[in-house]
């Protein structure tokens, strides 16, 4: 699932279009409002499905610390930080291949957003979509590594497409005048969950990977966003404001037994499953909707049935976008507790919170959206 920060932002824009009669937000993290909408609405995307090995898991992230948005990779302790992309366009939305050897991402280097792929060390960067004038973003690798799903505006509005991992055999999966986005492959690769506005408001749908059997899972007058499969593929976590503000919900994969896990006046979003499926980490926003600077985000963890909610961060800064490590021991997240947005990691119980990235406190320099590699990278294999 690794839709990333920019995609969340883009999705946030879609939401904002609804709320503010299509008044678009600026792209780029310059707009704090966009960031906030992003966090509230679209942080359903945490990390992708993960394999139970973490010793050498790497973290890919995006940062503008060198001037424009680039992708970087580092070890899970913050060592060996490496810039993978290096060009004047914005790069983002990283998605690890299931074997950890490649990263799909989106780049603006050719003037518009295209889907690219590269080796995990940054070599052999290749434009897969070669679309000269439309937005192609949010690549999501199929669990068998053979396909990449993404969203594109090439046919007039945002639709979901799939292609082979080498860019061949492009196929459109959705076809309607509304926005379709937020792509989550089921762990067995047999279904894709997504969010669509086709029925007037954000609802969660599921389809086969060839686009057949599209079925709506949520049905109410509020926004339902996400479809984050549990590791065993039996359930999905999502966010919904059906009870007045955003809460974390869970449902069976067929849409039955929808249940709110959180219940409070704050905005809860950004769920990420623990690899064993027993817990969900998420962030919660306290503070007034209209006074951005007075808001504060904290990260919480709970059992997958909503019991035993525990606060993991506690400070006046923003702590958000948590992402569980493949071995279940760590949680990576983004925080501005030291002055600007940087990537942090903590133990799953909240102890030993540690900063991994450092832009020397320059406010406009930000690192965000940590995403753990699903498996050993080839580089780590060699070192072993
Ligand atoms: Ca760049
Ligand atoms: Ca559509
Ligand atoms: Ca809430
Ligand atoms: Ca905080």
- φ/ψ of 5, rounded to 5, equals -55, -45
Ligand nearest to the CA of 70: 1
Distance of CA 301 from the midpoint of ligand 4 (Å): 14
Q: What is the pLDDT of residues 324-362, one digit of tens each?
A: 999 999 999 999 999 899 999 999 999 999 999 998 767
Distance of CA 232 from the midpoint of ligand 1 (Å): 36
The tokens describing 214, both together, are 């599209």
Ligand nearest to the CA of 318: 4
Residue with structure tokens 């903590």? 346
pTM: 0.84
Ligand nearest to the CA of 344: 4
Question: CB within 8 A of 20, min separation 6: which ones?
Answer: none
- φ/ψ of 52, rounded to 5, equals -80, 45
Domain, as residue range, for 378 = 5-383
Number of domains the chain is built from: 1
Q: What is the CATH number of the domain that holds 285?
A: 2.120.10.30
Distance of CA 73 from the midpoint of ligand 3 (Å): 33
Distance of CA 63 from the midpoint of ligand 1 (Å): 9
The yes-or-no verdict on residue 195 having pLDDT over 60 is yes
d(CA 149, CA 90): 20
Distance of CA 9 from the midpoint of ligand 3 (Å): 20
Question: CB within 8 A of 375, min separation 6: which ones?
Answer: 51, 53, 57, 98, 99, 100, 326
Question: In sequence order, what E strands does 217-351 have?
Answer: 224-229, 235-240, 247-252, 259-260, 267-273, 279-286, 296-303, 310-311, 319-324, 330-335, 342-347
Ligand nearest to the CA of 240: 3
The yes-or-no verdict on residue 12 having pLDDT over 60 is no
Q: What is the pLDDT of residues 27-42, one digit of tens each?
A: 333 344 444 444 444 4
Q: Which residues pair with 235 in a beta bridge?
A: 252
d(CA 164, CA 118): 15
Torsion of CA 132, 140, 216, 237, to 10 degrees: -140
Q: What is the pLDDT of residues 239-255, one digit of tens each?
A: 999 999 999 999 999 99
Residue with structure tokens 């499926």? 277
Q: Please compute the mean of the pLDDT values over residues 154-163 and round it to a whole number.
A: 96
- What's the mean pLDDT when you consider all of the chain? 85
Distance of CA 264 from the midpoint of ligand 2 (Å): 33
- φ/ψ of 231, rounded to 5, equals -55, -30
Distance of CA 383 from the midpoint of ligand 2 (Å): 46
């Amino acid at each position: 699932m690794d839709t990333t920060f920019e995609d969340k932002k883009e999705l946030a824009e879609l939401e904002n279009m609804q709320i503010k009669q299509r008044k678009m937000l600026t792209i780029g993290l310059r707009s704090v409002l966009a960031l906030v909408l992003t966090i509230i609405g679209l942080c359903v995307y945490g990390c992708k499905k993960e394999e139970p090995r973490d010793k050498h898991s790497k973290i890919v992230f995006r940062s503008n610390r060198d001037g424009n948005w680039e992708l970087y990779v580092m070890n899970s302790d913050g060592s060996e930080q490496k810039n993978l992309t290096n060009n004047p366009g914005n790069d983002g939305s990283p998605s690890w291949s299931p074997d950890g050897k490649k990263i799909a991402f989106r780049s603006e280097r050719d003037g518009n957003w295209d889907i690219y792929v590269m080796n995990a060390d940054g070599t052999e960067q290749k434009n897969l979509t070669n679309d000269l004038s439309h937005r192609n973003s949010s690549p999501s690798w199929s669990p068998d590594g053979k396909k990449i799903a993404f969203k594109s505006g090439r046919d007039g509005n945002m639709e979901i497409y799939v292609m082979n991992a080498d860019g061949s055999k492009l196929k459109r999966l959705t076809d309607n005048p509304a926005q379709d986005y937020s792509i989550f492959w089921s762990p067995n690769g047999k279904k894709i969950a997504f969010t669509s506005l086709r029925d007037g408001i954000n609802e969660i749908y599921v389809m086969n990977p060839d686009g057949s059997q599209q079925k709506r899972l949520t049905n109410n007058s509020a926004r339902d966003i996400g479809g984050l499969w549990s590791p065993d593929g039996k359930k999905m976590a999502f966010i919904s404001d059906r009870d007045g503000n955003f809460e974390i919900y869970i449902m069976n994969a067929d849409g039955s037994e929808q249940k709110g896990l959180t219940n409070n006046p704050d905005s809860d979003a950004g769920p990420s499953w623990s690899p064993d499926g027993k817990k969900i980490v998420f962030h919660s926003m306290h503070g007034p909707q209209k006074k951005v600077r007075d808001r504060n985000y904290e990260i919480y963890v709970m059992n997958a049935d909503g019991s035993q909610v525990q606060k993991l961060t506690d400070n006046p800064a923003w702590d958000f976008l948590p992402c569980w490590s493949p071995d279940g021991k760590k949680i990576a997240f983004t925080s501005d507790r030291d002055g600007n947005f940087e990537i942090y990691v903590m133990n799953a119980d909240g102890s030993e919170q540690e900063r991994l990235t450092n832009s020397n406190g320059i406010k406009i320099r930000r690192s965000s959206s940590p995403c753990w590699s699903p498996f050993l990278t080839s580089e780590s294999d060699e070192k072993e």
